[in-house]
Amino acid sequence: MSGGEVIIRGALLYGEGEPTDVLVRDGEIAEIGSGLTAGDATVIDAAGQVLLPGFVDMHTHLREPGREDTETIESGSAAAALGGYTAVFAMANTSPVADSVVITDHVWRRGQEVGLVDVHPVGAVTVGLEGKQLAEMATMAAGVGRVKMFSDDGHCVHDPLLMRRALEYSSALGVLIAQHAEEPRLTVGAVAHEGPTAARLGLGGWPRSAEESIVARDAILARDAGARVHICHASTAGTVELLKWAKGQGISITAEVTPHHLLLDDSRLETYDGVNRVNPPLRERSDVEALRKALSDGTVDCVGTDHAPHADQDKCCEFSQARPGMLGLETALAIVAQTMVEPGLLDWRGVAKVMSERPAEIVGLPDQGRPIAVGEPANLTLVDPAREWTVRGPELASVANNTPFEAMTFGAKVTATLLRGRPTVLGGQVQR
């Protein structure tokens, strides 16, 4: 699906150089220059704004099928478009689990019907996310949804033999295994980062070693299988060091960091508010700083939102009973701008790399994360780097409103998104 003609007038491409016009026609970038005109084109005034390739999220929970009371593919697609995304990967922990081609093809088709972003289904690695039997990865990869990534996210594939077999199969199929790195025997009863804060508050501690031991193991398994492995939501300084080691060994390993792990730490737990419970947990400030540096130097490859909507009753309860997860799609860019751009850790071209180019490359999307150049697909995002706004959960597009950023004010906002040349967001409003 592509739109008619659109002129983006006076944008700063990658935040660099002089204001430039971009003419989009038939889903592609047709011309780049100054003073461009087109008869009946939709004109977007982009003065002072930054034009980037559309964002790609490797880690989104859209809850459909099964928990449409918290999110649907339609509402999640709207949230993604508002966040500047043109492609998202919907995790498999739905109900029923996306462990068959019937479910993965449904997710793809439904995303195309909605038409706001490309919703790529993630297939389960194991049947029912139970960690006992490999799912039919080849069938899902060959389906209409063309599944490119498999993950039991929410659960770790903790059996090393099963993980080894999954990596071997993935290598033959040319797909990616994304691991939720959590040794479950180390996190029994754990709800918060194991440290002074959890100890003082009487919360069950979640050690860094639960994550790091799986990262180390899977790096070695990927090496021996000649396969690629991707680490979901890296959260510790130790994981950063392990990634450096593995990449230094030539192991094909990549990793993502969430916006909330770039901004928040476990001091947030003082209120016992369930909105702050997430998996992996918010860590200490030293981990936050290590993750920021790792994203800036490429040790951590990209940003993945881990957008996880939950119903009010699943969050407004005892901290230990709250479901882990936070909304993330609409606030991701603003947080990356605050934590990475403002301190000088990334420039806007760097933002394009970690939010668009690198995730598209890792998962293998030939039409996403492309350069802003004539003849390229017009999957584009326009960001106002000086647009101050305050997060209000009920005003977000998601069905749920479990945002830990409630009432926080940020200084950058997506104002327009184009999917194959068709505006899906204009002036901060979804175009349906």
Q: Catalytic residue positions?
A: 306
User: Residue 358: which of 391, 383, 336 has the closest Cα?
Assistant: 336
Neighbour tally for 131: CB within 10 Å: 17
User: Residue 280: which of 367, 344, 187 has the closest Cα?
Assistant: 187
What tokens were used for 171?
């290598």
Neighbour tally for 63: CB within 10 Å: 28
Separation in Å, CA 413 to CA 58, 169, 336, 429: 21, 41, 11, 12
Q: Are 102 and 132 in contact (CB under 8 A)?
A: no
- Residue 111: which H helix or E strand, with range? helix 101-114
Does residue 329 come out as left (phi exceeding 0), alpha (psi in the -120 to 50 range) or beta? alpha
Contacts (Cβ under 8 Å, ≥6 apart) of 125:
134, 135, 137, 150, 151, 152, 157, 166, 177
User: Residue 239: which of 228, 253, 250, 249 has the closest Cα?
Assistant: 253
User: Residue 364: which of 191, 180, 176, 233 has the closest Cα?
Assistant: 176
Q: Coil, helix or strand for 114?
A: helix
| Residue 239: alpha-carbon gap to chain centroid | 18
| Residue 105: alpha-carbon gap to chain centroid | 21
b/e string for 376-404 if b means 16 or more Cβ within 10 A? ebbbbbbbbbebebebebeebbbbbbbbb
